[in-house]
Structure 1
Amino acid sequence: MKVEIWSDFMCPFCYIGKRRFEAALNRFPQKDDIEVIYRSFELDPNAAYKPGVSMAELLSVKYGMSVEQAQASNDNITRQAAQLGLTYHLDKILHGNSFDAHRLVHFASQHGKMKEMTERLFYAYFTEARNLEDKELLADLAAEVGLSHEEATSVLKGDAFSAEVRADEEAAHRIGVRGVPFFVLGGKYAVSGAQPEEVFMDALEKAYGEEKPLILVNEDDNSAGACTDGSCDIPSKS
């Protein structure tokens, strides 16, 4: 079964939601049957790194709150992340544009490294407070997960995988995604936001239950008789 996850590297709840979903998936008995695909989403396509401007200051302007209120909100998010083993440094992160980071994930996907690249980018942004607009940094991160530094540099210098990012964003628009993280399970069930682990577990069970083949409860017992391929097995009398 396919699980598609729309997220943005600039979204603190996307990393939290990722961890909660992963915790549920690790508990799911049929986890080996689940294919996870990360989809691109830009919360602010026009975002750009502004040196010297803190996240609290950006939030203050965006939401019309005081810097103190924005800082309190960040502290609350940091505590939620810590409960999942994530270390956030929201007072130090360098907010910017995530388009190239999304392109890099599509490049990584071609080499079987989508999951590793996605995790490395989230960690670089929220824990290490790195600038994801820095193409040299992105190439370095790609190399860290086992990708070619030279190929990653070439991708980032051009416009490769731009169409794939846009396709993900258009798909999100078609199905009505307005915010991230957004999870689509089996093409039918959706979960919006960084929900508790049990919500993801319930969604996995429902989606998988409808997609999996029928389970034969009497696989080792044909005593009732059955006809297949034009012939019939007649049960013997006990």
Structure 2
Amino acid sequence: MRNLVIQHPEVRVPEDVTDSVRYAWKSLRIPVILPLLQLAAILCSGMSLMLFADRVYMAVVIVWVKLMGRKRYTKYNLDALKEDLEISKSYPMVLIQIPMSNEKEVYKLSIGAACGLSWPSDRLIVQVLDDSTNAVLRELVELECHKWKERGVNVKYETRNNQNGYKAGALIEGLEKQYVTDCEFVVIFDADFQPNEDFLWRTIPYLIKNPELGLVQAR
């Protein structure tokens, strides 16, 4: 009887770090890397299609608006809404919140813009929520608030001993103040936002005339 000789395939053992890396790469690139690349390609294709569909939709809407001759503010006349408020004298109480943290470059501009808004002074509260960690900067922000308070603006300067929730946390704690309970509307400005003087006249009336609305976003 003839003897059978079975030869097992030679397993090459990596001799150094370079060989180990090369061996690991060859072992993983087909079963692991390739499926991941295929999945990434599918996701990218899907996102590209979504962006394309969004662009097409926006183009259709713009063309439709142009063809229909629609314009902004066709449903409500801002001047008429303002006149109604002035006649009735039923101005709602408005709270303006400005959360800030170490906003050295813009705090004067943002506070000044909010305090300079056109609205009855007795129906407006400007709440500056200062989470600055710099003690000197806190004093400067407080002095700026005091300056506007002397001019007749109802400015409230609020600080905290912590930064829980960061600016969102400051906004929530600001709404818990006792003097806020009478405010019907809340306006939130970022620390670097400078609204036009008529900002409230261009937003609050829409909320008054449309009780089903809960938010007006502007920029």
TM-score (norm 2): 0.31
RCO higher in structure (CA 8 A, sep ≥6): 1
What TM-score, normalized by structure 1, do the two folds share?
0.29
